[in-house]
Chain A
Amino acid sequence: GAVVSQHPSRVICKSGTSVKIECRSLDFQATTMFWYRQFPKQSLMLMATSNEGSKATYEQGVEKDKFLINHASLTLSTLTVTSAHPEDSSFYICSLDRGDTEAFFGQGTRLTVV
């Protein structure tokens, strides 16, 4: 099955700095990948759909200028949290879709902004 590698697994950054999270598809050419966010004790919420070679589609309420998504190749999507603030501290996780099968998720990234 497809394997998704997400890096880093944990990151601590200072308020005001930017953090980049990578999501790689290791054995599948992914034209579409998804980014989710999960706050403590809550469920996962879809943030955006990453489209290879075109702009990402953001869900309502997600600031596209704050969460920059780049999907420049069929195997890599990146999420950059710009000017991070403590309220951006969360668990971020990517997935890729292979049609009508289960989603394949990365390992997730726990971001802590101090």
Chain B
Amino acid sequence: SQQGEEDPQALSIQEGENATMNCSYKTSINNLQWYRQNSGRGLVHLILIRSNEREKHSGRLRVTLDTSKKSSSLLITASRAADTASYFCATDKGGKLIFGQGTELSVKP
């Protein structure tokens, strides 16, 4: 399978805590993207990090990329109940996205 792996598969935390999700992939990449999906709905783009970047921030989100280890992490700080969703990493291969298996995040109020 070309799919990457994400861990944990499920994460349950309390509001205010930080959530960290990890993603590993198999091939060389142009960029790696993180998406959010609320239950049964479309995808929301969160962050794109290019292969020559190591870290990127957007609001409460922080993404790191380690191309030597073929891994990335997404950190959500000061989580809110509204952050409850599934989070996917995806590697870009000539426009095609290869998605990780996803992390289901539950933030309890």
Contacts and interface: CB of A to CB of B under 8 A. Distances in A.
Which among A34, A46, A102, A105 has the greatest number of chain B C-beta atoms within 10 A?
Answer: A102
Interface residues on B, range: 20 to 34
Given A91-B40, A102-B45, A44 B96 contact: no
A44 B40 CA distance: 12
Contacts of B97: 34, 36, 44, 46, 95, 103
B12 to A, nearest CB: 16
A40 B22 CA distance: 22
A90 to B, nearest CB: 11
Interface residues on A, range: 20 to 34
A44 B87 CA distance: 11
B20 interface: no
Nearest 6 A/B pairs, CB to CB: A97-B95, A102-B45, A107-B42, A108-B42, A105-B43, A44-B99
Interface of A: 32, 34, 36, 42-46, 49, 91, 93, 95, 97, 99-108, 110
Given A101-B48, A102-B45, 6 more contacts: A34-B96, A43-B3, A45-B99, A93-B42, A103-B95, A104-B45
